[in-house]
Amino acid sequence: MPAEPRREPIIMLPPVIVVLGGAMLLIEALSAFVLNEMQQVNLLIWLGFIPARLIAPDQFPGGLLPLLWTPLTYDFLHAGWEHVLGNVIWLVIFGTPVARRYGTVPTLVIFFVSSLVGAIAFAISEFNSVAYLVGASGGIAGLTGAAVRFIFQPVLMGTDPETGAPVPLGRHMATIREMLRSPAARTFSIIWVVINCLVPLAPLLIGESADIAWQAHLGGFFTGLFLVPFFEHPHVEEAPPPTA
């Protein structure tokens, strides 16, 4: 009896990326099509990150208590479809290689720790304002920083011990020095940092402020950049790193 042809999965993305992106899209759909205006405000108050709670907790429902979860739950709220779709696309592009290399748990750790650091960075710079933080940019920036450590590196090759055939081992995890020596990784990182550093100067450059949480972007990016080596698998480094 002939074997049945192998069925390829409909969705080729890692499950953790599908779940994260799906949750963002689902919550945005609920906010846009199900919740009324007052419910949308309550969603923001209880799940969005509001640094002003630290200095005036009595002015917000729940006081300080929501600070236990809002530095993470703000990831799943967005300021409209353009915002959430942009973040989901970025998540797919840079989260997928991280998830395929390290798996579900490390991907979630990088994502949420980067989100937390991004929220802290936002709070430090917006401490005396009533600004609030929504969007998954901090966590996605962390996955971006993690991916930059290896996606621009050459694929390492090994040899199958039985057949002698060449076998791809994966991409080398670059040190910071090696990353900065790579033209692609260096250029990408510099552009990322410079663009986000220019956001606070938007009123001078374009005449109006840009509602972009550049603090969360930078905090998340550098968190992922330095956190990802802790999840590196020893077998990926079975071949020596490429020389410049």
pTM of the model as a whole: 0.86
Each residue of 93-111: pLDDT tens digit?
Answer: 999 999 999 999 999 999 9
> Where does residue 90 rank: exposed (0-12), middle (13-18), buried (19+ CB within 10 A)?
middle
Mean pLDDT taken over the chain: 86
Q: What is the pLDDT of residues 138-166, one digit of tens each?
A: 999 999 999 999 999 887 767 767 676 66
